[in-house]
């Protein structure tokens, strides 16, 4: 008899501590079931999640009826409806094509030195203290630095973009915010779009060559191009480009600190780092859910899904499905086969997957080589943010031995090789809203 009937308890802090045991209880009851609390179908098995991501009968459109959205949230919803993430074909591939070449594996590989420099600088600043909050000091600033570089955003403007992105990201992933916070999110998005409009169209600040901003600015000059679409997708890149990678870095670091033997394995065998990145993504993925809506009545895994009903694809549960990943709760860097769902699957496979993998690779190499005795500092336990959609830490305090003067100048040298994009183009499914607006 089923004892767990809803995904909603995953929102509770005490369940976040045992999230994957909770998912196992859900999956043991049924891999696809109706959740009356969220008014949605919940899919937890790898087979049903992976098949649903490419099912043409399921739509990625988030707001099929903008008039039904609350007045405070509607301006934000209108912007989201122009983003590639929340569109289907033919609009989805058209919007994706506008910027996808800036995220090809070859283009991303050119960023390796810049990412290494940024990580070096962060570690050098923290090294003399012997302490660091991995989230605040490393995982959050690094992805924002890199996506801002891609967009050619001047350093003086980056704090404002960070401040605007936070309420937007919160609203995208939480259908239970009050009117004031929804209003703040809508205003923050409006401010961000106004900034990008000025940045892309101002002749006083020409774009640096070969940046994403240069690519988008060139398209903005086309009279047939909808500038609002470009601006909306620039906002998507900024928010999704740093939010998911921030959580991946934090989650991966915690997993290594909790499994000292696997960290030692990587120090001895750096050739395993690319495989370790994939296993860490499977083990504790930053994106836990993808949202789909039924275009029409359809059958999914033997269940009758009615037109308009929501289906929540729980990627985090699929990544721990023992039918695909034997001993799924074990961190195994030599695990054979099995495709994890951390970046989604199908047409909406994460556009930024290659970049996230590269950033993760460089960070792991740096932490393992520069801070070999890295450990949890023990002052307080790691804390998870409250979200059904994102799996991420609010802070992760660590300690290490400050380097001596002799080794303080040691530089990170990336040994992970080229990034494998497993190349499906799409975009990161960050924070789909469980219950709808």
pLDDT of residue 406: 54
pLDDT of residue 433: 38
Tens digit of each residue's pLDDT (9 = 90 or more) over 299-319: 999 999 999 999 999 999 999
CA gap 343, 353 in Å, rounded: 7
In the chain, the largest separation of any two C-alpha atoms, in whole Å, equals 68
Tens digit of each residue's pLDDT (9 = 90 or more) over 388-431: 888 999 999 999 998 776 554 445 444 444 444 333 333 333 23
Q: How many helices (H) and strands (E) does the chain have?
A: 16, 12
pLDDT of residue 173: 67
pLDDT of residue 379: 74
Do the Cβ atoms of 227 and 95 come closer than 8 Å? no
pLDDT of residue 4: 55
> Tokens 């029409």 sit at which residue?
296
CA gap 355, 425 in Å, rounded: 12
CA gap 162, 167 in Å, rounded: 10
Roughly how many angstroms between the first and final C-alpha of the chain, as a whole number?
32
Please enumerate in sequence order all residues whose Cβ is within 8 A of that of 292, keeping only pairs 6 or more positions apart, or say none.
52, 53, 55, 58, 59, 60, 310, 311, 313
**Complete edge-to-edge strand list for the sheet that includes strand 375-376:** 131-133, 397-399, 375-376
Nearest CA to 41 among 248, 311, 291, 270?
Answer: 311
- 3-class DSSP state for residue 412? coil
Do the Cβ atoms of 220 and 231 come closer than 8 Å? no
pLDDT band (50, 70, 90) for residue 176:
low
Domain boundaries defined on the chain: 70-287+344-399
pLDDT at residue 138 greater than cutoff 90: yes
| Most confident by average pLDDT, 60-74, 88-102, 183-197 | 183-197
Lowest mean pLDDT among 128-132, 146-150, 428-432: 428-432
Q: Distance between alpha carbon 35 and the CA centroid of its chain, in Å?
A: 25
Q: Which residue has the higher pLDDT, 256 or 69?
A: 256
Q: What is the pTM assigned to this prediction? A: 0.88
Percent of the chain with pLDDT over 70: 90
Q: Distance between alpha carbon 71 and the CA centroid of its chain, in Å?
A: 28
Tell me the sheet residues that pair with 300.
303
Do the Cβ atoms of 298 and 4 come closer than 8 Å? no
pLDDT of residue 187: 96
Planar angle of CA 101, 91, 296, nearest 5 degrees: 135
Tens digit of each residue's pLDDT (9 = 90 or more) over 229-249: 989 999 998 888 788 899 999
pLDDT of residue 223: 79
Give me Rg for the CA atoms of the chain.
21
Do the Cβ atoms of 45 and 318 come closer than 8 Å? yes
pLDDT of residue 405: 60
Sign of CA dihedral 129, 134, 137, 138: positive
Please enumerate in sequence order all residues whose Cβ is within 8 A of that of 384, keeping only pairs 6 or more positions apart, or say none.
13, 16, 17, 391, 392, 393, 394
Nearest CA to 96 among 233, 210, 200?
Answer: 233
Q: Is 403 exposed, middle or buried (0-12, 13-18, 19+ CB in 10 A)?
A: middle
CATH label, 70-287+344-399, candidates 3.40.50.620, 2.30.30.90, 2.40.30.10, 1.10.630.10: 1.10.630.10
CA gap 6, 26 in Å, rounded: 8
pLDDT of residue 118: 96
pLDDT of residue 318: 97
Do the Cβ atoms of 9 and 22 come closer than 8 Å? yes
């Amino acid at each position: 008899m089923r004892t767990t009937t809803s995904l909603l308890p995953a929102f509770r802090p005490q369940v976040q501590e045992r999230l994957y045991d909770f998912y196992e209880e859900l999956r043991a009851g049924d891999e696809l079931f109706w959740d009356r609390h969220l008014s949605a179908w919940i899919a937890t098995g790898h087979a049903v999640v992976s098949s649903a991501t490419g099912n043409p009968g399921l739509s990625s459109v988030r707001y099929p009826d903008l008039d039904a959205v609350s007045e405070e949230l509607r301006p934000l919803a209108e912007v989201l409806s122009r983003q590639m993430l929340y569109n289907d074909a033919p609009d989805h591939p058209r919007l994706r094509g506008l910027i996808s070449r800036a995220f090809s594996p070859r283009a991303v590989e050119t960023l390796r030195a810049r990412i290494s420099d940024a990580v070096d600088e962060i570690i050098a600043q923290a090294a003399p203290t012997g302490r660091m909050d991995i989230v605040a000091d490393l995982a959050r600033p690094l992805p924002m630095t890199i996506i801002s570089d891609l967009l050619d955003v001047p350093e003086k403007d980056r704090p404002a973009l960070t401040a605007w992105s936070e309420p937007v990201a919160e609203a995208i992933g939480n259908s239970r915010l009050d009117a004031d916070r929804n209003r703040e999110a809508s205003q923050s998005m409006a401010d961000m779009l106004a900034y990008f409009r000025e940045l892309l169209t101002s002749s006083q600040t020409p774009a640096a060559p070969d940046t994403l901003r240069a690519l988008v600015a060139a398209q903005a000059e086309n009279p047939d191009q909808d500038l609002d679409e470009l601006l909306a997708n620039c906002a998507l890149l900024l928010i999704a480009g740093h939010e998911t990678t921030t959580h991946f870095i934090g989650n991966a670091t915690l997993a290594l600190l909790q499994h000292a033997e696997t960290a030692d394995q990587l120090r001895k065998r750096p050739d395993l780092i690319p495989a370790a990145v994939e296993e860490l993504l499977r083990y504790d993925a930053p994106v836990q859910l993808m949202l789909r809506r039924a275009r029409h009545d359809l059958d999914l895994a033997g269940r009758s899904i009615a037109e308009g009903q929501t289906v929540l694809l729980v990627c985090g549960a699929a990544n721990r499905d023992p039918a695909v990943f034997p001993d799924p709760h074990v961190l195994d860097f030599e695990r054979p086969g099995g495709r994890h769902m951390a970046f989604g699957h199908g047409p909406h496979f994460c556009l930024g997957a290659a970049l996230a993998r590269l950033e993760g690779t460089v960070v792991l190499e740096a932490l393992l080589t520069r801070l070999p005795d890295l450990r949890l500092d023990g002052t307080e336990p790691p804390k998870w943010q409250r979200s059904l959609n994102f799996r991420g830490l609010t802070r992760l305090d660590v300690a290490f031995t400050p380097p001596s003067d002799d080794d303080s100048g040691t530089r990170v040298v990336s040994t992970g090789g080229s990034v494998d994009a497993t190349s499906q183009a799409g975009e990161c499914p960050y924070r789909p809203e469980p219950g709808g607006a």
